[in-house]
Amino acid sequence: MKRSFLLLCVALCFGNSIYGQSRFHVDIDGAFNLGLHEHSSYYKDSGHPHGYSYGLTLRYDVSERWSAGAGIALSREFNRNHRTAPIYATVRYKALKQLPETYVFTNVGYSSSTLGSKLDSGFSGSLGIGYTKMFAKHFGLNFQLGYNLKTFNNEDMYGGDDHTDVRHSILFGVGVTF
């Protein structure tokens, strides 16, 4: 009994010391992707591509200005009804000392169709600027504006040629940071 209680106290103290350090962050965000252009070798009408994505990112502050991590997102693009779940790496850099809340970011990842039968595989990448307003030590709001590029590898089930759709979008994101 005493041994279990001691292990519980050590675990709580160790957990609080990790959480007390503000180097680890969890970001939960959503984004609207306003489509600029979609190129498909199969479809002629590109329509008005737009979509939504929701992501979960785990980050670590490498230094005062650099942050890196990994995440997963679920996204849906409505023009061709593409669904993806890219696993991505993220890097943030706070370029301006006068505005420490602003940063530039990049997310680079790949979605595999083996994760689910209704998911499209392909590359996913974003590049942009962001702003984080912290209200407490471990709570803040995050805003992002950027460029998003996605490819969708479409396999022809009837033995024809495979083709790739390419979508260019402007990303408008809002989320919370812990």
pLDDT of residue 154: 67
Residue of 16 and 99 predicted with greater confidence: 99
Express each pLDDT in 87-100 by its tens digit.
999 999 999 988 98
Express each pLDDT in 101-153 by its tens digit.
999 999 999 988 765 567 888 899 999 999 999 999 889 999 999 999 998 88
pLDDT of residue 77: 82
Residues 6+ apart with CB under 8 A from 177: 25, 26, 27, 132, 134, 139, 140, 141, 142
Q: What mean pLDDT, rounded, does the chain reach?
A: 82
Options 2.40.50.140, 3.40.50.12160, 2.60.120.10, 2.40.160.20; which CATH number does 22-177 get? Answer: 2.40.160.20
In the predicted structure, residue 1 carries a pLDDT above the cut 90: no
The stretch 74-90 carries a mean pLDDT of 87
CA dist 13 → 9, 56, 89, 177 (Å): 6, 26, 30, 23
Sorted by where each begins, the domain ranges of the chain are 22-177
